């Protein structure tokens, strides 16, 4: 029996490997994209006195890789049309990971905003 045709949870190993590859690709693209956007907004924020753009930069830079990978895995399973039971479970896990990430964003950015630790644009 070919190892790639072996099934785990009614899905072949080959499909699992493809889905993992897609998830890593999506996670990597999201990571690179968020860094590019953060750098551009950071340059804009340096010219303004608005703290919202500074907060957005903190949020983008504070996004954890595990969050991007969880979203990437969920999207990959949907793309590869995995069984509903698997995509449902992974979707719920990805949602929980997003909630945790939102808590991290709120905790870090919210406290920074209140404490005045977010630098204020060009006037400091």
At 6-44, the pLDDT tens digits run 999 999 999 999 999 999 999 999 999 999 999 999 998
- Residues 75 and 105: their CA atoms lie apart, in Å, by 22
pLDDT confidence tier of residue 1, bands split at 50, 70 and 90 = low
Instruction: Report how far residue 36's alpha carbon sits from residue 33's, in angstroms, rounded to the nearest whole number.
Output: 5
- Decide: helix, strand or coil at residue 101: helix
Q: What is the DSSP letter of 47?
A: T
The pTM score is: 0.77
pLDDT above 50 for 123:
no
CB atoms within 10 A of CB 116: 9
């Amino acid at each position: 029996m070919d190892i790639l045709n072996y099934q785990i949870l009614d899905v072949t190993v080959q499909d699992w490997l493809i889905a993992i590859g897609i998830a890593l690709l999506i996670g990597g693209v999201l990571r690179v994209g968020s860094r590019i956007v953060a750098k551009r907004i950071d340059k804009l924020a340096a010219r303004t006195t608005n703290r919202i753009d500074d907060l957005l930069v903190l949020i983008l830079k504070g996004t954890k890789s595990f969050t991007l990978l969880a979203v990437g895995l969920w999207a990959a399973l949907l793309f590869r049309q995995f069984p509903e039971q698997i995509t449902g479970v992974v979707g719920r896990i990805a949602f929980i990971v997003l909630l945790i990430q939102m808590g991290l964003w709120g905790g870090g950015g919210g406290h920074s905003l209140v404490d005045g630790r977010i630098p204020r644009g060009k006037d400091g």
